[in-house]
Structure 1
Amino acid sequence: MSSTHRFAAHLEWTGAASGPVRDYEGYSREYRVDIEGKPSLRGSAAPPFRGSPELHNPEDLLVASLSACHCLSYLALCARAGIVVLSYEDDASGVMAFDRTAKVMKFSEVMLRPRVRIAAGADVDKARALHETAHHECFIANSVNFPVRNEPLVTLATLEG
């Protein structure tokens, strides 16, 4: 596998159809992201920044990217370790606030709360430990400059299911 991978996206401000940017309050924040071979993604600013609450926003997508990357890293580690994962869910959340020192709005942390159910007889301690390894292997978490924490819960399935 190559040690360099490239990713590309095309963004178009579709809000232009509603009129030009004349003042901060009045312009549409809608945009579309196109990635070759994939469905388009419609987005907007987050509601606190005058965006549409019905559309994806960059802040939600950042939290979702961190959650998805941890999930995929964890599942790969479990597969390699022979731990059978039956289900995986995460209630991820991020905190964004004004940094008075840097004088910018930025994320201060993201918390992942994965809930994993593994097959009866699997090694629960090993499954828990793999969350820490997944955190260190997650490409997206390694790319951000704020803490990404996780509070995993691993449960063992009963012999009936």
Structure 2
Amino acid sequence: MGSKRHLYSVGTEWKGNHGHGTQSWHVYGRNHDITAEGKPVIHGSADPSFHGDPTGWNPGELLLASLSACHKLWYLGLCAGAGIIVTAYRDSAEAVMMETPQGDGAFESALLRPVITLASGSSITRAQALHDQAHAHCFIARSVNFPVICEPVFQIV
């Protein structure tokens, strides 16, 4: 089977011109709208520490959300294929971005902490192994240059 190429298209429109454009660093807004055909608009901004609107999704949050969602999708698919019945999945993810004195920076790590509820009779050992496989397959985690650590917690109902 040959490789498949997937194309993703989004639009990002700056909404922060308050009449003076980027005349100075402190007068323009960081707000923007992210759009894709047929989908709801995502209202974004910069992190509040970079003069962003705290009610908008910032790029760091969106990156972390992508890591968390990709891992979840792989995990649920692998469980379905292996006969492991997941009845609930909730992740409380965190990431650390280090800023340099010059104002640039980079993410140094991300931590996924999914709480996974399994149906009665499920094997936690097998569920853990599938979790490790999901982490190895997640294309977002495979694309970033910082460690993505996963610390799952399993419960059986």
Decide: shared fold, TM above 0.5.
Answer: yes
Query: What is the TM-score of this pair, normalised by structure 2?
Result: 0.93
Corresponding residue for 1:23? 24
Corresponding residue for 1:155? 155
| Secondary structure of the corresponding residue to residue 51 of structure 1 | coil
AA matched with 1:143: S
Corresponding residue for 1:41? 42
AA matched with 1:81: A
Corresponding residue for 1:134? 134
| Secondary structure of the corresponding residue to residue 97 of structure 1 | strand
Corresponding residue for 1:69? 70
Identity between Structure 1 and Structure 2 (%): 44
AA matched with 2:85: V
Residue 18 of structure 1, CA deviation: 5.0
RMSD, aligned α-carbons: 1.6
Deviation >4 Å, runs of 4+? none
Q: What are the superposed Cα offsets for residues 79-136 of structure 1, whole Å, 9 maximum, x if unpaired?
A: 0000000100000000000368xx9401000000000010000111000111110001
Query: What is the TM-score of this pair, normalised by structure 1?
Result: 0.91
- Which consecutive unaligned segments of at least 5 residues does structure 1 have? none
- Which consecutive unaligned segments of at least 5 residues does structure 2 have? none
AA matched with 2:43: R
Q: What are the superposed Cα offsets for residues 1-43 of structure 1, whole Å, 9 maximum, x if unpaired?
A: 8611000001111112554111111210010111011011110
d(CA) in 2 for partners of 1:18 and 1:84?
Answer: 55
For residues 79-90 of structure 1, what are the structure 2 equivalents within 5 Å?
Answer: 79-90=80-91
| Secondary structure of the corresponding residue to residue 62 of structure 1 | helix
d(CA) in 1 for partners of 2:31 and 2:135?
Answer: 33
